[in-house]
Amino acid sequence: MVLAAAPTASAQPAPAGKLSIIMFGAHPDDCDIRSAGTAAKWVALGHKVRFVSVTNGDAGHHEMGGGVLAARRRAEAQEVGRRLGIEYVVLDNHDGELVPSLKVREQMIAQIREVKADLVLGPRPNDYHPDHRYTGVLLGDAAFMVTVPNILTHVPALTKNPVFLYYQDGFQKPNVFSPDIAVDITDTFEKKIDALDAHVSQFYEWLPWHSGRLDQVPKDVKARREWLKKDRAGNISPTMRAALEKYYGKEGAAKVQHVEAFEICEYGKRPSAADIKTLFPFLP
């Protein structure tokens, strides 16, 4: 069963000349953390964006769980959809129990085909969390198979393989993240914080509790958003700054305050420089 967490009006195919982008995360906040700033840029240009959470998030809290938590997190995802102007879909797989099964692979293939994706994004298959790892594995397993008509025959296959990209992460082994594309999100960072702010159960409750910082979260709604903004600012590493210079030049890269970066997955279409410019039309 698939539970949509946003109004269905945005599920229409992308208009002619517009891109269709689908992003996968293991939980209802993962896409937001890795790519909400870039998503806001696509939306501003009229492109269609869908976030998909592969699990329903029903284990990610210290005081509640099960169906009650899943419903709360689905509602939070719906609010993100409203704030960003995207569609947010939550698949009904249990949090903490994800495995790279044929069933879930077919769910992801169906999602990619349904939106006729030009671009597919998700996590790399090495991460501290098994759900994150297996979402990355499933992403790779879905690549190419989205074009095979005899797989999942009731959902029409794509006639061309989309470009698949991995989100940025900080893990070093077995392979370090390689930033093939770096996007300046300084102008959409507030929109990204708007998205994260909607996940109240996560950024103001569960994650601070898990890291022993729950007592640092302000009670006031405005104050806690400012706290979150500072908490999520981060520093731009020399490697990331070099990746930015590829697109923005040395002077432009030096001015960037916030960045989201992506690595090309070899299993999808291998994009040329022209393809990247088409898929990321806001790059200079």
Percent of the chain residues past pLDDT 70, beyond the cut: 95
Percent of the chain residues past pLDDT 90, beyond the cut: 93
Classify 12 in phi/psi space as left (phi over 0), alpha (psi -120 to 50) or beta: beta
For all residues of the chain together, what is the average pLDDT? 95
**pLDDT tens, position by position, 199-216:** 999 999 999 999 999 999
pLDDT at 171 over 80: yes
Across 271-283, average pLDDT: 97
Strand partners, 262: 167, 181
Q: How far is CA 233 from CA 138, 150, 257, in A?
A: 30, 46, 8
pLDDT band at 9 (very low <50, low <70, confident <90, very high): very low
165, 121 in Cβ contact below 8 A?
Answer: yes
Say if domain 2-8+16-279 classifies as CATH 3.40.50.10320. yes
Close Cβ partners of 40 (under 8 Å, ≥ 6 residues apart)? 84, 185, 188, 191, 192
pLDDT at 281 over 70: yes
77, 88 in Cβ contact below 8 A?
Answer: yes
Torsion of CA 140, 94, 86, 200, to 10 degrees: -130
Joined together, the tokens standing for residue 47 give 């492109």
pLDDT at 180 over 90: yes
**pLDDT tens, position by position, 143-154:** 999 999 999 999
pLDDT at 158 over 80: yes
Structural domain boundaries in the chain: 2-8+16-279
> In this predicted structure, what is the pLDDT of residue 217?
98
> In this predicted structure, what is the pLDDT of residue 10?
45
> In this predicted structure, what is the pLDDT of residue 11?
55
Strand partners, 263: 166
Across 252-263, average pLDDT: 97
pLDDT band at 15 (very low <50, low <70, confident <90, very high): confident
